[in-house]
């Protein structure tokens, strides 16, 4: 009999084939959750209350890299292993970061709007900036940030990197103050933690050079939204390209969605054809390993095994 596996958002067309005959896919209605030992988590919240409704749960497997939406301690206390797929979204997210960088710095959407409106002052009104030779500060040099850094170096940008947890050898490694002081472009590639929440706040924006371009395809919470709005109003920030926001999604009337110098996409950087296949395939494999009694490499709440070992002793 197939194993029931819960999904918290509808699958893209054809993706049910990835599960194969050994799985019966149910959801996203939470009424199905109590009947499942495994769940595939998208970006929806998994607080303690939701996890508790899955009395049979043994694994919550993220189809993505971030896990800040899952209460890891609550899951561990319940004996639920939480996994992610850290390699799967890297290529697609890095590519989308570059698209945000280009769209923001070249004012792509604004120019398209002018053309559609029938305006004729295209050349004189274009606000785009040249990136070759500009300094880009990459905050976070993990799987995605390191790829973005290489792409920017290939564009003849000066790349400086801030990441206190890795040793960067191919680019100039600096502290955050240097990033803020010297960068014409700043791109965020950090997870959302207590340390990184509102990392770019009003004080950080004040230390940046005038006319900086901000790109964020990491987590919305690493930037103080009101501080970003204020910096856009003052001209401190010249343009911004965002795939993530806080809150998320933004209200359609939010000021960030109604500015010529801001491009916002709805947290879809990783959702390419190949990227989604890698994420779901990895999440399914992680779930399979846990239910088979194996310990997955990409477990993000390893303290759960202390709970599980205590139960078996």
pLDDT tens by residue, 42-56: 978 999 999 999 999
Supply the mean pLDDT for the chain: 95
Rounded to whole angstroms, the Cα distance separating 180 from 206 reads 9
Residue 262 parent element (H or E): strand 262-264
- On the question of pLDDT at 262 being above 90, the answer is yes
Residue 180's pLDDT band, with cuts at 50, 70 and 90, is very high
**Over 80: is that where the pLDDT of 81 sits?**
yes
Percent of the chain with pLDDT over 70: 100
Same domain assignment for residues 32 and 149: no
Q: What is the pTM of this model?
A: 0.89
At 313, the pLDDT band (50, 70, 90 cuts) reads low
DSSP state of 270: T
Residues near 289 by Cβ (< 8 Å), separated by ≥ 6? 295, 296
Mean pLDDT of 275-281: 95
User: Computed from CA positions of residues 255, 256, 261, 264, in that sequence, does the dihedral angle turn out positive or negative?
Assistant: negative
Task: Verify that 235 and 306 share a domain, yes or no.
Answer: no
On the question of pLDDT at 312 being above 80, the answer is no
What element of type H or E holds 159?
A: strand 158-162
Domain check: are 12 and 71 in the same one? yes
- Residue 23, classed as helix, strand or coil, is strand
- Shared-domain flag, residues 76 and 205: no
84 with 100, same domain: the answer is: no
Shared domain check, 194 and 133: yes
Distance in angstroms (rounded) separating the CA atoms of residues 193 and 220: 12
pLDDT for residue 49: 97
Catalytically annotated residue among 248, 254, 259, 285: 248
pLDDT range class, residue 127, cuts 50, 70, 90: confident
| Average pLDDT of the residues in 3-22 | 93
Residues 280-305: tens digit of each pLDDT: 999 999 999 999 999 999 999 999 99
**Which residues span the domain enclosing 242?**
90-264
Dihedral sign for Cα 99, 100, 103, 105, please.
negative
The reported pLDDT for the residue numbered 119 is 82
Compute the average pLDDT of residues 118-131. Answer: 85
Confidence at 126, pLDDT banded by 50, 70, 90: confident
- Per-residue pLDDT band at 109 (split at 50, 70, 90): confident
**147, 267, 276, 288: the active-site residue:** 267
What is the chain's alpha carbon radius of gyration, rounded to the nearest angstrom? 21
Number of domains in the chain: 2
Intra-chain end-to-end CA distance of the chain, in Å:
30
- Out of 50, 147, 189, 219, which one is annotated catalytic? 219
> Are 10 and 158 found together in one domain?
no
Tell me the mean pLDDT in the region 263-284: 95
The CATH number covering residue 34 comes to 3.40.50.720
What is the C-alpha separation between 14 and 82, in angstroms, rounded?
Answer: 26
CA 237 to chain centre: 21
Does one domain contain both 50 and 161?
A: no
Q: Which residues, other chains included, contact 3 with Cβ-Cβ below 8 Å and sequence gap of 6+?
A: 22, 23, 24, 37, 38, 291
Task: Name, in order, each residue with C-beta under 8 angstroms of 240's C-beta and a sequence gap of 6 or more.
Answer: 104, 213, 214, 215, 216, 228, 232, 256, 261, 262, 263
Q: Is there a catalytic annotation at residue 219?
A: yes
Whether 182 has a pLDDT exceeding 80, the answer reads yes
What is the average per-residue pLDDT within 266-287? 95
Active site residue 32: no
Residue 105: band (very low, low, confident or very high) from pLDDT cuts 50, 70, 90: very high
Measured in degrees and rounded to the nearest 5, phi and psi for residue 95 equal -65, -40
pLDDT of residue 33: 97
Which has the minimum average pLDDT: 81-95, 118-132, 248-262?
A: 118-132
- Are 80 and 163 members of one domain? no
């Amino acid at each position: 009999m197939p194993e029931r596996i819960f999904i918290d958002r509808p699958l893209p067309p054809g993706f049910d084939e990835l599960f194969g005959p050994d799985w019966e896919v149910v959801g996203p209605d939470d009424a199905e959750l109590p009947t499942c030992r495994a769940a595939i988590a998208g970006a929806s919240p998994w607080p303690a209350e939701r996890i508790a409704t899955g009395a049979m749960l043994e694994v919550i497997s993220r189809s993505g890299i971030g896990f800040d939406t899952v209460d890891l301690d609550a899951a561990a206390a319940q004996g639920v292993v939480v996994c992610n797929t850290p390699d799967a979204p890297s290529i697609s997210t890095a590519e989308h970061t570059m698209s945000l960088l280009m769209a923001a710095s070249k004012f792509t959407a604004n120019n398209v709007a002018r053309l559609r409106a029938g305006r004729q002052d295209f050349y004189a009104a274009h606000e785009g900036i040249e990136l070759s030779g500009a300094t880009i500060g990459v905050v976070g040099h993990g799987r995605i940030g390191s790829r973005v850094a290489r792409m920017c170096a290939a564009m003849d940008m000066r790349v400086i990197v801030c990441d206190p947890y890795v040793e960067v050898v191919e680019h100039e490694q600096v502290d955050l103050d240097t990033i803020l002081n010297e960068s014409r472009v700043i791109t965020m590639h950090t997870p959302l933690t207590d340390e990184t929440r509102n990392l770019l706040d009003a004080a950080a924006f004040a230390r940046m050079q005038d006319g900086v371009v901000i790109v964020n395809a990491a987590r919305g919470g690493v930037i103080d939204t009101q501080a970003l709005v204020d910096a856009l109003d003052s001209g401190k920030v010249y343009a911004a390209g965002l795939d993530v926001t806080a809150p998320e999604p933004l209200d359609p009337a939010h000021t960030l969605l109604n500015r010529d110098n801001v491009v916002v996409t709805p947290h879809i950087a990783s959702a390419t054809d190949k990227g989604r296949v890698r994420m779901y395939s990895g999440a399914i494999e992680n779930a399979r390993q846990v239910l088979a009694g194996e310990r997955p490499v990409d477990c993000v709440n390893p303290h759960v095994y202390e709970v599980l070992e205590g139960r078996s002793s």
